[in-house]
């Protein structure tokens, strides 16, 4: 590969001409500035420099590594490639537990005592031919606990040591049973477990969440799906419908996560991530709404030219967001253009769950009314679930009879149409980098906590 000096890289540090060095390799990410999830400012800050430390501190995923490979143009002279340190796995030996010493029970002691008693009785009975079992018992005193019903009925042959031993054994078993029963009453602890009958708690079986079900997708392996439908929703925006192998299959996308698409363009592997508008309830299919930029490497040169029957490589699920009911009480959303897709996925999950009471407030910005994606579906959810969803549309070029907002998403608009900062409120952002960065600053000014470079579910402001 071509080699560059540090000075060569330093000469490319503008937004339209941006090179970085990561692990001794040079990447021209000029065309990726607009698509960078963390915003353009993050890349501009390290433009023309060695960004290895910044890249590693953020903790990029395997998907980010694959995207970066598509922009590789060479290496730095005299540098050596470095690799991430491998995680050390510690195996701790479990501590040995205390030795358990078994205590002999009173019943065991009675049994042991019965052995010599049996021997003595056997000698006695062997020497007295006149004794039967009832008579033998009489010699040892009256045992009132023995039932008079069965006792007279027992007759054994008289005389001889063997007959005496058998008689003595039966006698000891009867005596031991009676004594053991009486003795157990003294040793038994009267606790709540014995005073009252057991009570089993009856709890309704929790229904499994279909959105968390494992599906057809594999997180580390790309698999093919055929395109079965392609509709144009607005200029350069398409609905892509892909067919799963079986009509009963689920895609396996938890709410808030996305899929990666990979294609080979000009001999290089290029991958991008997109959030489906379908979910695990939609059996047998995967639906994506994607804007295909004319100059986009994957969208303009690959996805825009797909035809029904073509197969596309998918991998997933991916992403830091994994929504569950009770995640928070209120969610504010700011979306622009196709940034509505992850928001729509969450809105669907909340509205379609009869037990989810999360309140969502959405600000959705577009250029014209025709650019509003999934409007019919969004308005239906807002009408049917007014306690769950409220929507405020904003347009750069609204019609004369427009009943919503006009212009950019400002701090004033967020104050009026989003919930205020609190411990049980989250705000989610997705759209053009300029809008996302401006929204972050406005939300921080309103009292929300500034998120890190990589979004986490615990952040008050989450960026898809």
Max Cα-Cα span within the chain: 125
For the question of residue 275 being annotated catalytic, the response is: yes
Which residue in 4, 27, 55, 274 is the catalytic one? Answer: 274
Residue 406 is labelled as binding a ligand: no
State how far the Cα of 203 lies from the Cα of 189, in Å rounded to an integer: 31
Residue 291 is labelled as binding a ligand: yes
Residue 71 is labelled as binding a ligand: no
Residue 185 is labelled as binding a ligand: no
Give the up-direction half-sphere exposure of residue 170: CA atoms within 13 A in the CB hemisphere. 17
Which residue in 172, 292, 351, 430 is the catalytic one? Answer: 430
Which residue in 12, 55, 75, 258 is the catalytic one? Answer: 258
Q: By the 8 A CB rule, do 72 and 34 touch?
A: no
Residue 341 is labelled as binding a ligand: yes
Q: Quick one: CA torsion of 288, 291, 295, 300, rounded to 10 degrees?
A: 40
Closest CA relative to residue 463, chosen from 434, 440, 438:
440
Which residue in 75, 275, 338, 358 is the catalytic one? Answer: 275
For the question of residue 430 being annotated catalytic, the response is: yes
Cα 265 versus chain centre, distance: 34
For the question of residue 274 being annotated catalytic, the response is: yes
Binding residues: 272, 274, 289, 291, 341
Binding residues for FAD: 272, 274, 289, 291, 341
Task: List active site positions.
Answer: 258, 274-275, 430
């Amino acid at each position: 590969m071509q080699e560059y000096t540090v000075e060569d890289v330093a000469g490319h540090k503008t937004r339209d001409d941006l090179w970085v060095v990561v692990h001794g390799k040079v990447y021209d990410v000029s065309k990726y500035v607009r698509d960078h999830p963390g915003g353009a400012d993050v890349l501009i800050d390290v433009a023309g420099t060695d960004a290895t430390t910044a890249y590693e501190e953020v903790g990029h995923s395997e998907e980010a590594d694959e995207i970066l490979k598509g922009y590789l143009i060479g290496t730095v002279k005299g540098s050596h490639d470095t690799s991430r340190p491998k995680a050390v796995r510690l195996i701790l030996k479990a501590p040995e537990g205390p030795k358990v010493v078994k205590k002999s029970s009173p019943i065991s002691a009675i049994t042991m005592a019965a052995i010599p008693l049996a021997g003595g009785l056997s000698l006695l009975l062997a020497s007295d031919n006149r004794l039967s079992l009832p008579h033998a018992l009489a010699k040892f005193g009256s045992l009132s606990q023995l039932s008079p019903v069965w006792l007279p009925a027992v007759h054994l042959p008289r005389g001889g040591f063997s007959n005496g031993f058998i008689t003595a054994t039966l006698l000891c078993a009867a005596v031991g049973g009676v004594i053991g029963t009486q003795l157990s009453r003294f040793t038994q602890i009267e606790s709540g477990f014995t005073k009252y009958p057991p009570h089993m708690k009856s709890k309704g079986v929790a229904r499994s969440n279909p959105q968390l079900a494992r599906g057809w997708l594999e997180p580390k392996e790309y698999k093919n799906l055929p395109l079965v439908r392609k509709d144009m929703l607005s200029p350069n925006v398409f609905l892509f419908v892909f067919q799963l192998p079986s009509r009963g299959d689920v895609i396996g996308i938890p709410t808030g996560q996305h899929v990666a698409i990979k294609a080979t363009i000009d001999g290089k592997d290029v991958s991008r991530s997109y959030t489906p508008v379908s979910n695990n309830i939609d059996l047998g299919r995967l639906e994506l709404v994607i804007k295909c930029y004319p100059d986009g490497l994957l969208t303009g040169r690959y996805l825009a030219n797909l035809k029904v029957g073509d197969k596309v490589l998918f991998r997933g699920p991916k992403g830091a967001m994994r929504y569950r009911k009770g995640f928070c009480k209120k969610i504010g959303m700011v979306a622009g253009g196709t940034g509505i897709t992850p928001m729509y996925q969450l809105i669907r999950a909340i509205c379609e769950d009869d037990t989810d009471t999360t309140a969502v407030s959405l600000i959705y910005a577009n250029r014209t009314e025709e650019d509003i994606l999934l409007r019919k579906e969004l308005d239906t959810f807002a009408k049917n679930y007014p306690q769950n969803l409220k929507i405020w549309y904003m347009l750069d070029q609204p019609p004369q009879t427009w009943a919503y907002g006009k212009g950019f998403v400002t701090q004033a608009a967020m104050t009026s149409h989003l919930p205020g900062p609190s411990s049980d409120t989250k705000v989610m952002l997705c759209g053009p980098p300029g809008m996302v960065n401006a929204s972050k600053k406005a939300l921080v000014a309103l009292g929300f906590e500034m998120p890190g470079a990589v979004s986490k579910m615990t952040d008050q402001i989450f960026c898809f």
